[in-house]
Chain A
Amino acid sequence: MQFKFDILIPYLPQFGSALLVTLQVTISALLLGIVLAIPLSLFKILPVKPLNWLAAFYTSIFRGVPLMVQVFMMYFGIPLVTGLRFNAFQAGTLIFAMNSAAYLSESLRGGIRGIDRGQFEAATALGVRYPGMMKDIIFPQAIKSVMPSIVNEFISLLKNTTLIASIGLVDILRVGQSVQTATYRAFEPFFFISVFYYVLVMLLSLLGKLLERQVNKSDRH
């Protein structure tokens, strides 16, 4: 058995643009996911039962349905029923964002619950209204405890986005598959892709640690 990694060289530009797609989907899904997670976590903590149920139902859908099925549903199923048309990029980004929102809202709720009641009381006693209190006093503190979850979500998103190859988006995995088809070699492209993801994830973990340290700076003595 001989390794022939040089067969990958002609495909490097394709891998390059595929990486861009992967990162675009991942990052836009994460950002959108965070934005969606904030109202969703509010729905979970507000003392309004129907909102609690709604948010719990939302989360349970994304927990209960396999990700691949979610992606197919978004790309093939939803457009048929609603008439909305998504390209693969939009469908992928949207479903991953909604999926992240479900998970992130859960940890955001945990983060909010974990904040000392005294913080709410102090803000209330100062006459701060609920939206301002959540935005400026509670969320900035909750985000600290949510930071590790956000990094974890980033990492699992990055890995899960390989699923978008299945709806025809050319991401890294898809390029690997085309290398396999063209050269009849499977080990090299997939080994390359594995290393690629591994390094990316390690870098992200490191970034996560740095971020955590950054947001915790007010705790240092």
Chain B
Amino acid sequence: MIDIKGLYKSFGQLQVLRGISLKVSDGEVVCIIGPSGSGKSTLLRSINLLERPTYGEIWIDGKLITPPDPYLHFDVIRASNTYRHMAQERQLPPDSPEDLDIVRRIKEQDLLKPREGRPYLDLMRRIEREHRVDDHYTRRRIGMVFQHFNLFPHMTVMENMVYAPMHVNKLSRQEAEQKALTLLNTVGLMDKKDVYPATLSGGQKQRVAIARALCMEPEYLLFDEPTSALDPEMVKEVLAVIKALVESGISMVLVTHEMGFAREIADRICFLDEGILVEDAPPDVFFSTPKSDRAKAFLEKVL
């Protein structure tokens, strides 16, 4: 399960994500939709740490993949000097119950400085030690498919596919090639195994990219607008491959502009606008009776 808690992301002054919380259960297919600039891609890219969240935590199968966020652990906040000062200022007892208003104020003013005293640091370290896993461990278990395919142009299709399994997962070349062949067969590109990516069409490149991601046997698969860079006649072949994956039961998070497709395959639709998760609903509910005005306005434009 992917558990995203209170995710904030800023690029300089620009706040792209403003407090996103979202869970993806095993085997679930979640489509993230929303207007451009709403933070969809940033959210997706945070899940395999291509972006580092400013605040918030991401947990995958009970393992913390981001640094712990003190704001999400009230005992840590309470151990901080800042909290004690503020509690005094506002005449709160030092062991006051969870005062979310104070936490929010600390967060907004970002008063929490690195030097927060031993108990604070010890608690942070404890969380880190007990739950944190390293980036490579995370990325090995999460596959990603990009809008622009990002195949390695100096490697053949086969080399593209076996590189990571051999170098990251330490498979033998034979095992890796065996797996690659099976996957190339499922995406219907067996005959292209020895060509360079430059000779492939966009649709074929994306199918190879999907197969390359699958070669690592990921438990989760992320798609970042997988059909947006494709000529219209090639969209179908890629969607067909993705659809076949849905049936295989792998957990997926897709950022997509293909509304019909999202409606067809998704278990849940997450509608993002201006960095906020505005709606999170099953596709039938979302597309027929969107609750928010923003979602209604968006759907009117795209449908």
Contacts and interface: CB of A to CB of B under 8 A. Distances in A.
Interface of A: 116, 118-119, 121-129, 132, 136-137, 140-141, 144, 217-221
Contacts, number: 71
B115 interface: no
A118 B167 contact: no
Interface in B124-171: 136, 139-140, 142-144, 146, 148-155, 163-164, 167-168
27 contacts: A116-B148, A119-B150, A119-B152, A121-B146, A122-B146, A122-B150, A125-B139, A125-B146, A126-B213, A127-B140, A127-B164, A128-B163, A128-B167, A129-B136, A129-B168, A132-B167, A136-B167, A137-B163, A140-B154, A141-B152, A217-B196, A218-B155, A218-B196, A218-B197, A219-B198, A220-B196, A220-B199
A14 to B, nearest CB: 45
Contacts of A132: 167
B299 to A, nearest CB: 31
Contacts of A137: 152, 163
A116 to B, nearest CB: 7
Given A136-B163, A218-B198, A127 B216 contact: yes
A126 B151 CA distance: 12
Contacts of B212: 126
Contact of B50 (A121, A127, A220, A221): A121
Given A119-B150, A121-B150, A132-B167, A127 B136 contact: yes
Given A128-B168, A218-B196, A221-B198, A122 B139 contact: no
A141 B168 contact: no
A116 B142 CA distance: 22
Interface string B62-91: 000000000000000000000000000000
Q: Which 6 A-B pairs have the closest CB atoms?
A: A122-B150, A126-B164, A118-B150, A127-B140, A125-B144, A218-B196
Contacts of B167: 128, 132, 136
A128 B48 CA distance: 13
Given A118-B148, A119-B150, A218-B153, A126 B139 contact: yes
A218 B196 CA distance: 6
Nearest to A118: B150
A141 B136 contact: no
B153 A126 contact: no
B168 A118 contact: no
Contacts of B142: 125
Interface string B31-43: 0000000000000
A126 B216 contact: yes
B214 to A, nearest CB: 11
Contacts of B196: 217-220
A76 B148 CA distance: 56
